[in-house]
Amino acid sequence: MRFKLNRKKREVHLGDRVFAFILKVPSVALVLLLVSIAYYLFRNALPVIHKQGWSFVTTSVWDPVNDVYGALPVVYGTVVSSFIAILISTPLSVGVALFLTEIAPTRVGRVVGFLVEMLAAIPSVVYGLWGIFVLAPWLRTTVEPFLAKTMGFLPFFQGAPYGVGMLAAGIILAIMITPTISSISREIFNAIPRVQREAALALGSTRWEMMRLSVLQSARRGIIGAVILGLGRALGETMAVTMLIGNRHEVSASLFAPGSTMASIIANEYAEATSDVHVAALVEVGLLLFAVTFVINSLARLFISRGFRWGAPSNSPGGAK
């Protein structure tokens, strides 16, 4: 039973009424804050929405000098880099979560769990720095030539190995979203009752069969939710991607080629944008990004809260962790 503000039935202490009001104001303001973020973005994007309409997202020329803006390449870059990240990170994160809940001894699990959480705590700009000086040279000299040699017949692995580019951005994103996906998968695995596992083992399944039958089967929905949440993080990640993607406004099939994402183009151009339309165009990119992450995260919330079929759903599944 929590305190209720039921003025009809009970007389409420004046101090209580004042205090409740004081607490309610910031809560209302928080909701208004979110609404006003959306409103401001929309209002400041209006010049470009009026001027270009849908061609903004369907064309690919981005020319601030002539005030022509087509956001297709950044949308493409965002989708591709996030897709690479999800592709790498999903098996890895689910593997980590399984390792932590099913295999690792408590002490090992605790340490590894902490280390994985620390991955989420490293600031994005530090990942960017590491990416520029460690990851990108490694990709340029080792990974990309190797991929070109073995799978060069695919259009994704053709062209000069720059190091920085779509692949580098995707990999850094994969590293950054792994803690998100794995910590939520882990919570979901933990919520699955012990007896479910024991039942599978009692029927003679091996440990892996037990994981497949009683853990992964029942956690499918939750895992999908976790991956969607990771996707939401990947779409909006700014600094590391800006430093690693190469910032070129082009659609290119090759993953070695530089590109740019919605977040990175804002980070790169906003402070230097001079014409009003240029600013508005960048704000519209921001508006799109806002809308997409909003939808994605709501979706993830839905999946995750239903993913807990046993045990109580946690209060705040959409963790920022």
Partner 1 sequence: MQRHFADYIFRSYRKRKAINALMCGLLVLAATLAIFPLFSVFGYVVAQGYSALNWEFFTAVPKPVGEIGGGMANALLGTCTLVALASLIGIPWGVSVALYLSEYGGKQGRGRFAGVVRFSADMLSSIPSIIVGLFVYALVVITMRRFSAVAGGLALGILMIPTVCRTTEELLRMIPEHIREAGLALGLPRWKVILWIILKGSRGPITTGIMLSIARVSGETAPLLFTAFNNRFWQSGLDQPIASLPVQIYTYAISPYDDWHRQAWAGALLLVMLVFAMNLLTRVVFNSGGNSKKQGGN
- Residue 135 or 257 having the CB closest to partner 1: 135
- Residue 134 or 195 having the CB closest to partner 1: 134
- Residue 54 or 91 having the CB closest to partner 1: 91
- Residue 76 or 189 having the CB closest to partner 1: 189
- What string of DSSP letters covers 8-57? TTSPPPHHHHHHHHHHHHHHHHHHHHHHHHHHHHHHHHHHHHHHHTTHHH
Q: How far is the CB of 253 from partner 1 (least distance, A)?
A: 26
Nearest CA to 226 out of 293, 92, 318 is that of 318
Give CA angle at 182 (190, 131), nearest 5°. Answer: 165
Q: How far is the CB of 164 from partner 1 (least distance, A)?
A: 10
Q: How far is the CB of 158 from partner 1 (least distance, A)?
A: 27
> CA 106: distance to chain centroid?
29
Q: How far is the CB of 112 from partner 1 (least distance, A)?
A: 6
- Residue 141 or 206 having the CB closest to partner 1: 206
Q: How far is the CB of 239 from partner 1 (least distance, A)?
A: 5
- Residue 207 or 306 having the CB closest to partner 1: 207
End-to-end CA distance of the chain: 30
Q: In this structure, are residues 181 and 227 in contact, taking their beta carbons and an 8 Å threshold?
A: yes
Cβ-based neighbours of 123, under 8 Å, separated by 6 or more: 239
- If one counts every other C-beta atom within 10 angstroms of the C-beta of residue 99, the result is 17
313 burial level (CB within 10 Å; 0-12, 13-18, 19+): middle
Tokens of 174: 């994969």
Q: How far is the CB of 35 from partner 1 (least distance, A)?
A: 8
Strand partners, 63: 68
Q: How far is the CB of 153 from partner 1 (least distance, A)?
A: 27
Tokens of 79: 């989708």
- Residue 71 or 243 having the CB closest to partner 1: 243
Helices assigned H by DSSP within 53-139: 55-58, 72-98, 106-121, 124-130, 136-138
